[in-house]
Amino acid sequence: MEDYQAAFMQRHIDTETLCQSGRKMAAIHFGGITIECLLKAMIFASLPKGATQEWMTDSNNPGHTITNPGHSYTEALKRHNRLRSRIDNFPEVRKWLDEVENPISQHFIDMRYSAIEPDDTSYKRWLRAYQSLNGWLQKQATQL
């Protein structure tokens, strides 16, 4: 069974380590995964009492109808209406989501196949968005 909260915490440490060591492309890739894990942890935290923290599939009925959003932030937000509603009130947060999910005109998951490091300007823009989004989402996680 997936533990998205623990995975978020570990990937956050991984991302910080990659940032500090100058591994820009890997940091961007892992940063995207970090936010994905946080969004999934927030979805599971919003499940009704008594529901199992597993995704609904054709062969699994965990007591709710929420399916795995995969690596898509948009799909994740469709599964957490209160969070999506808050984000809709903060256009800056939507920009951070877009920057972290699709940095350098490519989805963060696909970056695992890239060997080209981003330029400093693109990386700094991503890092500001990642840090801002991470902090904002963690604050929301304590309030939703």
Instruction: Look up residue 63 and give its two tokens.
Output: 């007591």
H-type alpha helices, the chain: 4-20, 24-45, 73-78, 81-88, 91-101, 120-143
Contact 42, 136 (CB under 8 A): no
Domain residue ranges in the chain: 4-46+67-143
Look at residue 66 in the predicted model and tell me its pLDDT: 96
The DSSP-derived string for 14-54 is HHHHHHHTT-HHHHHHHHHHHHHHHHHHHHHHTSPTT--SS
Return phi, psi of residue 43, to 5°: -60, -50
Look at residue 58 in the predicted model and tell me its pLDDT: 94
* pLDDT tens per residue across span 13-34: 999 999 999 999 999 999 999 9
**With b meaning 16 or more CB within 10 Å and e meaning fewer, what string describes 35-70?**
bbbbbbbbbbebbeeebebbbbeeeeeeebebebbe
* pLDDT tens per residue across span 86-134: 999 999 999 999 999 999 989 999 998 988 899 999 999 999 999 999 9
What predicted TM-score, i.e. pTM, was given to this entire model?
A: 0.95
CA distances from residue 80 to 39, 75, 134, 135 in whole angstroms, order as listed: 9, 9, 17, 18
Look at residue 80 in the predicted model and tell me its pLDDT: 97
Look at residue 107 in the predicted model and tell me its pLDDT: 96
